[in-house]
Amino acid sequence: MTKHLPPLAILLLAPVLMQAQARPDCALKPTSLTQMRRCYRPLIIFSPTATDARLVKQQSTLDNAADDMMDRFVLLIPVIAKMANYQPPLDTPYALLSEKELAAIRSRFHVPENQFTVLLLGEDGTIRLQSAEPVTITRLNNLIDAMPERKIEMQRPHAN
């Protein structure tokens, strides 16, 4: 007998269900870049403020292609100097990390608080893309689809 979830349960689980998981042993809600390694492709967006037009544009672009981001295990990581008024994306998989982790990320990649930068990391943690401007979905998809790990993913049965 199949049980169905009541509508309220579906609404409460929606943020969890919206995030694609690379493998069963990957954290569904990772709390660090270390936990994301071999599981996700972090898209780190450094922004001076939560209302910076470039951040808003990038998130909107990602939301319009949320299925593409989930299929490619892209996880948005906002690193915002002033988090006040930050609105997480509606559909794009994302992770809000601790202040300590965000400071470590900013230090690791040497991005000052007043700078807008988009970094895409591969599943191995290496920088695959760096841009001072918002990045198009076409550019992200083409770059990710050319990665060896992604080519293997696409060959799996029921691949996204």
Q: Give average pLDDT by consecutive 10-residue segment, the chain, 160 residues.
A: 46 43 78 94 97 97 95 95 90 95 97 97 95 97 85 60
- pLDDT value of position 157: 57
- pLDDT value of position 82: 84
Report domain extents, the chain.
30-155
Give the chain's length: 160
What's the rounded Cα separation, in Å, for the pair 146 and 114? 32
Fold of domain 30-155: Glutaredoxin (3.40.30)
pTM: 0.81
- pLDDT value of position 138: 97
The helix-helix angle for 148-155 and 137-145 (nearest 10°) equals 80
What's the rounded Cα separation, in Å, for the pair 159 and 118? 27
Q: Which residues contact 59 (CB under 8 A, 6 or more apart)?
A: 45, 76, 89, 92
Q: DSSP string of 83-95?
A: -TT----SSS-B-
